[in-house]
Amino acid sequence: MSRILLHGRVLTPREEFPLASVLIEDERIAWVREGKVDVAGATRIAEAGDAVVPGFIDLQVNGFAGRDAAAGPGAIESMSASLPRFGVTGFVPTLISRPIGEGVAFVRDCATAESPGARVLGAHVEGPFLNPKYRGAHDPACLVLPTPEHVARFVASPPLLMTLAPELPDALEAIRALTGAGVTVSAGHSGASLDEAQAGFDAGVRFGTHLFNAMAPMHHRDPGLPGALLGDERITLGLIADGVHVHRSMLSVAIKVAGPGRIALTSDAVAAAGAPPGNYTIAGRDVFSDGTSVRLADGTLAGSAATLDHLVRVMAGLPGVDLRQAVEMASTTPARAIGIDGRAGSIRPGAPADLVVLDAALQVRLTLVGGRIAYQR
């Protein structure tokens, strides 16, 4: 039996212990005890100023470290191996709008890909049932309506998460069918009005893809999809807090309105994330990264170059937001959004040992996946 002992500030994240010890036996957490407790025969990994937190879960990863998720299982496995360096212990590979046959194949690729590092949790199919006016970096030639025939192909091969525009013809029926197949349906790339959005929520939408981005802007007399997402307690909000996609003041608004229990930090990373500036692709579309943002040739934002630990640091640096809340948005909340909160996003006896150790500067020093060291600086 392997035993690893961690000491430090421990965020469960529902509780916070200024100093506690966490014992890991094989793949699971054996116990959490206040104070510095030594265990004979355990490998001790700790440094002054460390914080032990639940592993991060990213629900929107188009690519990473030079690899595009659309390229197949090998690329997804390479992403899995690279992500623990940034504290990610579980992720959802994401495919932007492509022909439906490719979307169905992508679901299969995610199901068969192995997890050498971060756990591959399932597929996020972002499109092709999107509003062309709010397509962002999606190829307009690939966008189609959610007809019963098109939706049936995804019902037969359901992704974990699917983004669509709830105002499209047949969208409400599509939401009901996908939800019935076990899919977490998300509203995004949409010009939905408040009423159209709420109709989508009533049909089963439970997530919002990158709040504020690629949707009609919120106006005080016409709140639209952003206002509907913020105002409905049933909805978890994906938020790209990279400092590029959403202004810091609006990040503060989002957390004040929704709270950390309804915000899931999502990187929307593409192959440029975790890689040097340069030319990359997202689902076959050429993009350029300057190291801070990623764009199409016309300047349209096309995913991000950010890593999830960076988003945690951004949120933890906002007025009134502490590290415990920032970690909750990167771990517990996304786990709950996709129904795995019983298996991820917490530090408690019996839970899988998916943990991250952050140093005093909130940089990742160690990542454990199932009790195995997946990254150590």
Q: For residue 342, with 0-12 CB atoms within 10 Å meaning exposed, 13-18 middle and 19 or more buried, which class applies?
A: exposed
State both tokens at 278: 């340069």
* Domains identified in the chain and CATH numbers: 3-52+348-376 (2.30.40.10), 56-337 (3.20.20.140)
231 close to 239: Cβ distance less than 8 angstroms: no
Q: How far apart are CA 209 and CA 185, in angstroms?
A: 10
pLDDT of residue 161: 98
The one-letter amino acid at 277: P
Q: How far apart are CA 233 and CA 60, in angstroms?
A: 22
**Which letter, b or e, does each residue of 82-120 get, where b requires 16 or more Cβ atoms within 10 Å of its Cβ?**
bbbbbbbbbbbbbbbbbebebbbbbbebbeebebebbbb
Q: Is the peptide bond before 352 cis (omega within 30 degrees of 0)?
A: no
**What would you report as the CA-atom Rg of the chain, rounded to the nearest whole angstrom?**
20
125 close to 162: Cβ distance less than 8 angstroms: yes
Vertex 55: Cα angle to 57 and 288 (nearest 5): 50
Per-residue confidence of the chain (377 residues) as pLDDT tens digits? Answer: 789 999 999 998 888 999 999 999 999 999 999 999 999 999 999 888 999 999 999 999 999 999 999 999 999 999 999 999 999 999 999 999 999 999 999 999 999 999 999 999 999 999 999 999 999 999 999 999 999 999 999 999 999 999 999 999 999 999 999 999 999 999 999 999 999 999 999 999 999 999 999 999 999 999 999 999 999 999 999 999 999 999 999 999 999 999 999 999 999 999 999 999 999 999 999 999 999 999 999 999 999 999 999 999 999 999 999 999 999 999 999 999 999 988 899 999 999 999 999 999 999 999 999 999 999 99
pLDDT of residue 15: 86
Beta partners for residue 162, in sequence order: 125, 185
φ, ψ of residue 120 to 5 degrees: the values are: -85, 115
Residue 142 neighbours by CB distance under 10 Å: 19
> What size, in residues, is the chain?
377
- Torsion (CA) 334, 340, 341, 344 in degrees, nearest 10: -90
Q: Mind spelling out the 3-state secondary structure of the chain?
A: CCEEEEEEEEECCCCEEEEEEEEEECCEEEEEEECCCCCCCCEEECCCCCEEEECEEEEEECEECCEEHHHCHHHHHHHHHHHHHHCEEEEEEEEECCCHHHHHHHHHHHHHCCCCCCEECCCEEECCCCCHHHCCCCCHHHCCCCCHHHHHHHHHCCCCEEEECCCCCCHHHHHHHHHHCCCEEEECCECCCHHHHHHHHHHCCCEECCCCCCECCCECCECHHHHHHHHCCCCEEEECCCCCCCCHHHHHHHHHHHCHHHEEECCCECCCCCCCCEEEEECCEEEEECCCEEECCCCCEEEECCCHHHHHHHHHCCCCCCHHHHHHHHCHHHHHHCCCCCCCCCCCCCCECCEEEECCCCCEEEEEECCEEEEEC
Q: Which of 58, 109, 268, 309 is catalytic?
A: 268
Q: Max CA-CA distance within the chain?
A: 64
Annotation says 268 is catalytic: yes
Q: Is the peptide bond before 13 cis (omega within 30 degrees of 0)?
A: yes
